[in-house]
Copies of this chain bind each other. A is one copy, B any other.
Amino acid sequence: MLIEAVVPFKPVNPKSRLSSVLSTAERELFAEAMLTDVVLSLKEAGCIPFILSTVPLHCAHAEVKVSADELNPALNRLIGSTSGPLLIIMADLPLVTPGVVRRIISTPSDIALGPGRGGGTNAIFIKDRSRFHVDYYGASFIKHQKIADQAGLSCDTVDSFRLHTDVDEREDLVELMIHGHGKAVNFLKSCGFSLLIEKGRVGISRSSEQ
């Protein structure tokens, strides 16, 4: 069965914590490259992805729905609007591969959560939409576990660093440079980024910085 997968996306001034290394225009292109990597992995894993964007957007690889609502009400309206399984996955996960997506959607449990670094939730697979809702921000991973528990739903944690690594800060770019495989890492390389090893620590440098 093909599984619907929604990727929330906020195209305007994205990834502001990368503003010390990327201009606004570059951050927009970088966010779109990460989004494309996620969407292509979803398609290759047999999902039907669509993008839930805060503003109109063109994407060659997936349908785009626009909602100006905040993340939680927008997603909860979507969850309540129809039945069948749904995968929710964040757009800033350029390390995700089709294999990771298959691990999530093949869970034997009612719910599969992909934890993000710092208590977040980077992916949620919901087999039965009628008994679950989302509550993002803060320690959302713990909140989502509680929501499943209170609804009597079994809940699996997907153990994947590719799913755990959302790209928000400069040090996250190191992970992408080492473990990336798609458009986002190619974008970074085209901007002149490379790995920099100093005193045993691994960082990144940009050719114009040197």
Interface residues of A (CB under 8 A from B): 99-100, 115, 117-120, 137-139, 141-142, 157, 159-165, 171, 174-175, 178-179, 195, 197, 200-202
Contacts and interface: CB of A to CB of B under 8 A. Distances in A.
B178 A141 contact: yes
A118 B195 contact: no
A51 to B, nearest CB: 23
A200 B138 contact: yes
Given A160-B160, A164-B164, 10 more contacts: A115-B161, A115-B179, A117-B161, A118-B202, A119-B174, A119-B197, A139-B195, A139-B197, A139-B202, A142-B195
Contacts of A178: 115, 119, 139, 141-142
Contacts of A163: 161
Nearest to A96: B159
Contacts of A138: 197, 200-202
A118 B179 CA distance: 10
A160 B119 CA distance: 16
Given A138-B200, A138-B202, A139-B202, A118 B161 contact: no
